[in-house]
Structure formats: structure tokens, C-alpha cells
């Protein structure tokens, strides 16, 4: 069973309490492995990824280029009895052109050393601030919305209430997002270019950055309010 630890490709959708735990228990009941995709959440939502949030470990966990400072690389790990199947310990051979690339590995080690508790506190604070700024701007224009959160990952659902699955996310007023996005872009703020993508924040953001974002959100919220569903 392969799952995102917390979904980030339909907008941000955190698992309900107990979901990952139940998924693990069902998989194990039938002799299956639970493989946790932490390409988005790994080393972002906490230093222990989403495991640091809900404490549910996959039998195998996958990581993306966050472990290489953004350079091309990926990694996976898991239970000792599973990993012992890999060569040279076991019979399963795994290799790739960029496996263990020294530049990517060095960048990843530097990134992980810099991921201090202070950095995570800053990222969490910035995610809260951005969420509040977006919600305040949209509320002033009367735009129904919910800020979807999975730790410091976020996205905007243009409907009342939290979305818990893909059907919920598709049922929102997604037609409002293009106008919202382009108004932000026209005012110097570049966010993820799809309503079904997750927003990430950085510890490097400054008060001046948030002032610029707050100003850009004024016309963006107006544009979202004025948008019409051309498919209706």
C-alpha cells in the first residue's frame, strides 16, 4: 500500500487522526507493506517528516530532493529486515545514474545540518502568518474559502469548510484560482500555479516580504471574488 503521509497533490489535505495508523494496521493484517511517500513532507513538516507529526512509520519511506538540497537525488529507507534484501547484503540490486552523487549528497548534508529547531519554528510561524494574511484578504471580499493545512504546508480551498479528499477539493470553486494566481503574480508574488498544489514557506522570508504579500493579496482577493465559472 503506497500513500502520501499527508497529501500535497490535490491541494494540501492532512490525514484525519488515526487514518495512517489504521492504514498500517489493515496492510499488516493482510501481509502487505505500508510505503509512506514523504517526498513533500519529509524534513519539511518536521525534522522527522510526517512521522514527527503523527508517529506512524511506514515499513518503507521514500524521500525526494529535499535530502539533496534541491539537487537531483532521492532516497528510501525502512525496516532492517526489508533493507537487508538489498545488495550487497541481499539479492536485490538497486542502482541509478545519480545514486550517491557526491555533490548532491554534500548539499543534502549541509541542508540537514542547517535544519535546526529554530528553522522549524520560523517556518511554522511563517506558515501561520501567510495563512492568516490570505484568509483575511479573502474574507474582506466575501470569498468562501478554507486554508488547508498539514503542519507548515498549506493551500487555499475556495469553498467553506475543510476538504478531506479529492472529491472535496474538486468540488470547490476552483475557477477562482487562476484570477487569484495571476493577480498575485502581477504584483510580484509567485505561488504554486495550480489550485491542486501545495504552498511551502521558507525560513528566509522577512517582514518586508510579508508586507509585499499582504499588499498583493488585496487585488488578488478582488480578482478571486470577481471570477466567474466559464463552464457553468
User: How confident is the model at residue 39, as a pLDDT?
Assistant: 93
More confident residue, 98 or 211: 211
pLDDT score recorded for residue 65: 82
pLDDT at 194 > cutoff 80: yes
DSSP code of residue 1: -
Predicted confidence at residue 74, as pLDDT, reads: 87
Residue 109 confidence (pLDDT): 92
SS3 content of the chain, % helix, strand, coil (to 5): 40, 10, 45
pLDDT band at 94 (very low <50, low <70, confident <90, very high): confident
Q: What's the pLDDT at 203?
A: 95
Return the closest-CA partner of residue 135 out of 204, 220, 194, 192: 220
pLDDT number for residue 86: 94
Q: How would you label 140-162 residue by residue, b for 16+ Cβ within 10 Å and e otherwise?
A: ebebebbbbbbbbbbbbbbbeee
Strand ranges for the chain from DSSP E: 2-4, 35-37, 60-63, 75-78, 146-150, 153-157
Q: What is the pLDDT of residue 231?
A: 79
Amino acid at each position: 500500500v503506497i500513500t502520501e503521509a499527508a497529501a500535497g497533490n490535490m491541494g494540501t489535505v492532512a490525514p484525519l487522526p488515526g487514518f495512517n495508523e489504521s492504514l498500517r494496521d489493515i496492510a499488516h493484517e493482510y501481509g502487505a507493506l505500508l510505503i509512506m511517500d514523504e517526498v513533500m513532507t519529509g524534513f519539511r513538516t518536521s525534522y522527522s517528516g510526517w512521522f514527527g507529526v503523527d508517529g506512524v512509520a511506514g515499513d518503507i519511506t521514500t524521500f525526494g530532493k529535499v535530502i539533496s538540497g534541491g539537487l537531483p537525488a532521492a532516497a528510501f529507507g525502512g525496516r532492517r529486515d526489508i533493507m537487508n534484501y538489498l545488495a550487497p547484503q541481499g539479492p536485490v540490486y538497486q542502482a541509478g545514474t545519480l545514486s550517491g552523487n557526491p555533490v548532491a549528497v554534500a548539499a543534502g548534508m549541509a541542508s540537514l545540518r542547517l535544519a535546526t529547531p529554530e528553522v522549524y519554528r520560523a517556518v511554522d510561524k511563517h506558515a501561520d502568518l501567510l495563512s492568516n494574511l490570505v484568509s483575511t484578504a479573502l474574507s474582506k471580499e466575501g470569498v468562501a474559502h478554507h486554508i488547508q493545512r498539514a503542519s507548515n504546508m498549506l493551500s487555499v480551498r475556495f469553498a467553506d469548510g475543510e476538504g478531506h479528499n479529492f472529491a472535496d477539493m474538486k468540488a470547490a470553486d476552483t475557477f477562482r484560482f487562476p484570477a487569484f494566481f495571476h493577480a498575485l503574480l502581477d504584483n510580484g508574488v509567485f505561488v504554486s500555479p495550480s489550485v491542486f498544489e501545495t504552498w511551502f514557506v521558507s525560513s528566509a522570508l522577512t517582514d518586508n516580504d510579508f508586507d509585499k504579500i499582504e499588499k498583493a493579496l488585496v487585488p488578488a482577493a478582488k480578482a478571486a471574488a470577481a471570477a466567474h465559472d466559464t463552464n457553468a
